[in-house]
Amino acid sequence: MIIKDNSLEDIADQLAGQDYAITENFLTLEEVRAIVEVFEYHRKEDNFKRAGIGKQEDFTLDKQIRGDYIKWIDPENAFPAVKVFLGKINELKDYLNMTCYLGLRDYETHFAIYPPGSFYKRHLDQFQGDGARRITFICYLNEGWQPGDGGELRMYLKDREEDLHPTAGKLVCFRSEMIEHEVLVAHKHRYSLTGWMLNHPVGLGFIKQP
Ligand SMILES: O=C(O)CCC(=O)C(=O)O
Ligand SMILES: [Fe+2]
């Protein structure tokens, strides 16, 4: 057990009650800093690629919709700091299966960087005709993030909108087919780990990298 038991229960309760869950300190500051070092390493190696919006990427169109750079994570070969995060996500997946009967079989994850001026317009996290993504999870890695730095996650709920600051260690999860959301313009580099719990094994899904 790597996650405190009550936070697992809390996430499951929040998801059941409102289709989304917010967890502060899902990662400790030490864990966040170790993952940020991995980001810096991959940035130096130029491993990040412009993200697309569907299976057939059309980058001209994509630019008006999202401006982030991503790198898919191969769990087998991930750095130890990243494996700590993946271990927690795996534990969460197993817990949600036990308690919410979501039929989650696997998950896929990527690093994401939003450079200043970038955003991701309002969308749902499922490709058309593909219901594989059941739960979206996003963990933010931005130490010292201030109101005014932008990059909020805006969730469109039934009766209101909810804006969340992408502060270090916070995990947001939501039902991928239920909650439309967007990333507001970031004014500073914004780092996160984003992924999806799937209803089938990922196989070699991580090489889908655009
Ligand atoms: O980083 C975020 O807050 C959301 C990212 C997102 O919506 C996505 O990658 O699909
Ligand atoms: Fe999304």
Q: What is the pLDDT of residues 123-172, one digit of tens each?
A: 999 865 667 899 999 999 999 999 999 999 999 999 999 999 999 999 99
* In the chain, where the domains are located: 5-208
Q: What is the pLDDT of residues 56-81, one digit of tens each?
A: 555 566 778 999 999 999 999 999 99
Closest ligand 1 atom, residue 164 Cα: 3
Q: In a mutational test of the pocket of ligand 1, which residue from 49, 68, 119, 120 has the highest number of ligand atoms less than 8 Å from its CB?
A: 120
Q: What is the pLDDT of residues 186-206, one digit of tens each?
A: 999 999 999 999 988 876 444
Residues having CB within 6 Å of any atom of ligand 1: 112, 120, 125, 138, 153, 181, 183, 192, 194
* Distance in angstroms (rounded) separating the CA atoms of residues 73 and 194: 10
- Residue minimizing CA distance to atom 10 of ligand 1: 125
Q: In a mutational test of the pocket of ligand 1, which residue from 181, 185, 192, 193 has the highest number of ligand atoms less than 8 Å from its CB?
A: 181
**Could you tell me the distance, in angstroms and rounded to a whole number, from the CA of residue 94 to the centre of ligand 1?**
23
**Could you tell me the distance, in angstroms and rounded to a whole number, from the CA of residue 183 to the centre of ligand 1?**
6
Q: What SS3 class is residue 51?
A: coil
* Torsions phi, psi for 113 (to 5 deg): -125, 125
| Pure H helices in 45-180 | 59-63, 80-100
Place of tokens 């795996």: 90
Mean pLDDT, the chain, rounded, equals 90
Closest ligand 1 atom, residue 68 Cα: 9
Fold entry, domain 5-208: Jelly Rolls (2.60.120)
- Cβ atoms of 32 and 118 within 8 Å: the answer is no
User: Of 166, 170, 198, 180, whose CA–CA distance to 68 is shortest?
Assistant: 166
How confident is the model at residue 55, as a pLDDT?
54
Q: Is the dihedral of CA 55, 57, 62, 68 positive or negative?
A: positive
Closest ligand 1 atom, residue 51 Cα: 9
How confident is the model at residue 63, as a pLDDT?
72
Closest ligand 1 atom, residue 153 Cα: 3
Interface pTM, i.e. ipTM: 0.99
- Residue minimizing CA distance to atom 9 of ligand 1: 194
User: What letter does residue 209 receive in the DSSP assignment?
Assistant: -
Which ligand approaches the C-alpha of residue 112 most closely? 1
